[in-house]
């Protein structure tokens, strides 16, 4: 498949790989050798979000980062459910295809519930967890998120997401605390995958999922004890405008032995503090062997 003209190969110099799955092709990068680190993005991002971590960590580890269907360089089918369960199943396709074991799973945003959905079915394959500004529980008590999801999950919301490219164009910049780190060229790399209206439906389904997939979140949280033996690092941007600070407390309550790194960043920690995130992951993997 052709590399799109908008892609900055200096920022994202990786080899493209494509895995055929039932609803299209899953794009992923697979760089370096050694212990596997599997990076799972949320919305409206793609594997580009992890580029700084992959560039550095692939010197010592095998770094895999996928693009969910509907995102990045993966297919954007109209007939896919875009449910969290099915995204999680696609991740399983990739892990099985690559024969990964003893995985360090690194998740952000919706990558949390998607990645942990895979973990709950394959706990023996996971060596450790790294969580950046994410969640794994129902959001029914978080009124602003539920109200926002119901609004954006409506027909009006679909119009905003599909016709105006609302998520990468407006929500993504709003989620930055250090605004200067989202330069125009970098923002273009997040707008690039969604240039056509027909390419944007996946972002809208994530907006719906916050309120609409409570049963999936309940299922994850019900199985949380499966994670208790996994060494866990939580890297948290304290100035996140998209998800509340109380989520960090919830993680610490859920996984009381987890190590926490607090940062003065917004939601997209990897963009605002790339070196700090990379070093924290590297030190954690070494220390928890």
Q: 39-76 pLDDT, tens per residue?
A: 999 999 999 999 999 999 999 999 999 999 999 999 99
The answer to whether residue 174 is domain-embedded is no
Q: What is the pLDDT of residue 2?
A: 82
Task: List the CATH number of the domain containing 62.
Answer: 3.40.50.1820
The total number of residues shown for the chain amounts to 289
Contact 19, 26 (CB under 8 A): yes
Mean pLDDT of 242-259: 97
The answer to whether residue 270 is domain-embedded is yes
Q: Is the pLDDT of residue 1 over 90?
A: no
The crossing angle, in degrees rounded to 10, of helices 143-152 and 155-163 is 70
Q: What is the pLDDT of residue 280?
A: 98
Q: How far apart are CA 210 and CA 207, in angstroms?
A: 6
> What confidence tier does 281 reach under pLDDT thresholds 50, 70, 90?
very high
**Nearest alpha carbon to residue 263 among 278, 252, 285, 282:** 278
**Nearest alpha carbon to residue 46 among 60, 62, 19, 27:** 27
Q: Is the pLDDT of residue 240 over 90?
A: yes
- Locate all alpha helices (DSSP H) within the chain, ordered by sequence: 51-57, 84-98, 111-121, 143-152, 155-163, 166, 172-174, 184-191, 201-212, 214-222, 246-254, 269-272, 274-287
Range of the domain at 270: 17-139+215-287
- Global pTM? 0.98
Q: Is the peptide bond before 44 cis (omega within 30 degrees of 0)?
A: yes
The answer to whether residue 183 is domain-embedded is no
Q: Is the pLDDT of residue 142 over 90?
A: yes
The answer to whether residue 59 is domain-embedded is yes
> What confidence tier does 257 reach under pLDDT thresholds 50, 70, 90?
very high
Q: Is the pLDDT of residue 111 over 90?
A: yes
Q: What is the pLDDT of residue 247?
A: 98
Mean pLDDT of 268-272: 98
Cβ neighbours of 15 (radius 10 Å): 7
Q: What is the pLDDT of residue 289?
A: 84
The answer to whether residue 8 is domain-embedded is no
As for how many domains the chain has, the answer is: 1
Mean pLDDT of 278-282: 98
Mean pLDDT of 140-161: 96
The answer to whether residue 244 is domain-embedded is yes
The alpha carbon dihedral of 81, 82, 86, 89 has a sign of positive
The answer to whether residue 72 is domain-embedded is yes
The alpha carbon dihedral of 277, 248, 240, 221 has a sign of positive
Mean pLDDT of 245-256: 97
Angle at 56 (CA atoms; ends 67, 27), nearest 5 degrees: 15
Mean pLDDT of the chain: 97
Please list the residues that pair with 106 across neighbouring strands.
39, 130
The answer to whether residue 209 is domain-embedded is no
């Amino acid at each position: 498949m052709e590399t799109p003209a908008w892609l900055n190969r200096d920022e994202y110099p990786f080899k493209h790989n494509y895995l055929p799955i039932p609803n299209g092709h899953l794009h992923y990068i697979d760089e370096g050798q050694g212990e596997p680190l599997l990076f799972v993005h949320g919305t409206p991002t793609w594997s580009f979000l992890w580029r700084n971590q992959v560039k550095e960590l692939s010197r010592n580890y095998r770094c895999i980062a996928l693009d969910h269907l509907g995102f990045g360089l993966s297919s954007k089918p109209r007939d896919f459910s875009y449910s969290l369960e099915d995204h999680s199943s696609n991740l399983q396709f990739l892990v099985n295809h690559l024969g990964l074991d003893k995985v360090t799973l690194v998740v952000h945003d919706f990558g949390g519930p998607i990645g942990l959905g895979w973990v709950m079915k394959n706990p023996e394959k996971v060596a450790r967890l790294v969580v950046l500004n994410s969640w794994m529980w129902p959001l029914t008590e978080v009124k602003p998120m539920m109200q926002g999801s119901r609004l954006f999950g409506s027909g009006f919301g679909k119009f905003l997401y599909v016709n105006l490219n609302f998520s990468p164009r407006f929500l993504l910049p709003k989620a930055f605390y250090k605004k200067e780190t989202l330069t125009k060229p970098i923002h273009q790399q997040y707008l690039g995958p969604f240039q056509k209206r027909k390419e944007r439906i996946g972002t809208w389904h994530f907006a719906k999922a916050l309120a609409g997939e409570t049963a999936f979140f309940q299922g994850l949280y019900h199985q949380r004890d499966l994670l208790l033996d996994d060494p866990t690092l939580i890297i948290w941007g304290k100035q996140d405008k998209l998800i509340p600070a109380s989520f960090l407390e919830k993680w610490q309550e859920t996984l009381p032995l987890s190590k926490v790194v607090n940062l003065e960043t917004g939601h997209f920690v990897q963009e605002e503090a790339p070196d700090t995130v990379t070093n924290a992951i590297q030190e954690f993997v070494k220390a928890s062997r």
